[in-house]
Amino acid sequence: MIEAAVTISLVPEAKNGPFVFRDDLASACEKVARLGFNAVEVFPRSVDEINATELKRLLARHRLKLAAVGTGAGWLVRKLSLTNPKARVRHDAEQFISAIIDFAAGFGAPAIIGSMQGRIEKDVSRVQALNWLREALNRLGRRAGSAGVPLLIEPLNRYETNVINCVADGVNILKALKAKNVKLLCDLFHMNIEEPSISQSLLKAGKRLGHVHWADSNRHAMGFGHIETAPVVKTLRSLGYSGFVSAEVLPLPSPEDAARQTLKSFRRCFNTT
């Protein structure tokens, strides 16, 4: 069954990012549950700055699931990436992600690698950068697999990275991995920029699809932009997709309005009440 999730950012530096709720985890979980979501997707500043016991208490109290945990603060706050030319930075990036994998696995949830794929710098060849990324994903994938959870890699549009931009890039790197539990996170906002056809690209992802970010063309809640949802929903159903569609969207015109619009679109598209 496809379930609806919504994002909560606990990263002050991401105050302008596409997160519906921010800063106050307890208040956000209460609002999310009251509105009718099934799950939350949490973006911590680091594992040292989020209390697992408190999160478990809040999820249990509000009958919510943890859909995924983001690693983006590693890039935003510390400029860590898996393709940095400096070995120490790559090592620290991998350690940061490993800690989040372990944290998320305690909830049966995957970690997301998006911005921490980094950017290919001018003195680094694409072949070398992809080799570094592939080696790290193999190690991180095995770590997640040993904990019984998948690991998610997210293609990002060309304005955010020059490493993994589209589904085809993601599929290619997954095919080259020995770790088989690494999946794709397909974000409809990024796909609207990079893919000739969102639905056809989802078909290319196929069984490698592990998570969906349910965001419209302008990074607002679905229905506030121009993405046609019918082909997307038809494709997800044809794939037998049964994961989360998560609102990684701007909190506009307000967090509550963005959340309500997300649920309105989710219920309309997936025939839920």
Active site residues: 154, 248
Angstrom CA distances, 9 to 17, 21, 95, 131, 146, stand at: 9, 6, 21, 31, 27
How far is Cα 193 from Cα 161, in angstroms, rounded to an integer?
Answer: 13
Amino acid at 138: N
Amino acid at 145: G
| Residue pair 130/173 in contact by the 8 Å Cβ criterion | yes
Name the token pair of 106: 């305690």
**Residue 42 backbone dihedrals phi, psi, to 5 degrees:** -110, 140
| Residue pair 250/261 in contact by the 8 Å Cβ criterion | no
Dihedral of alpha carbons 166, 172, 178, 180, sign: positive
Amino acid at 18: P
| Residue pair 59/107 in contact by the 8 Å Cβ criterion | yes
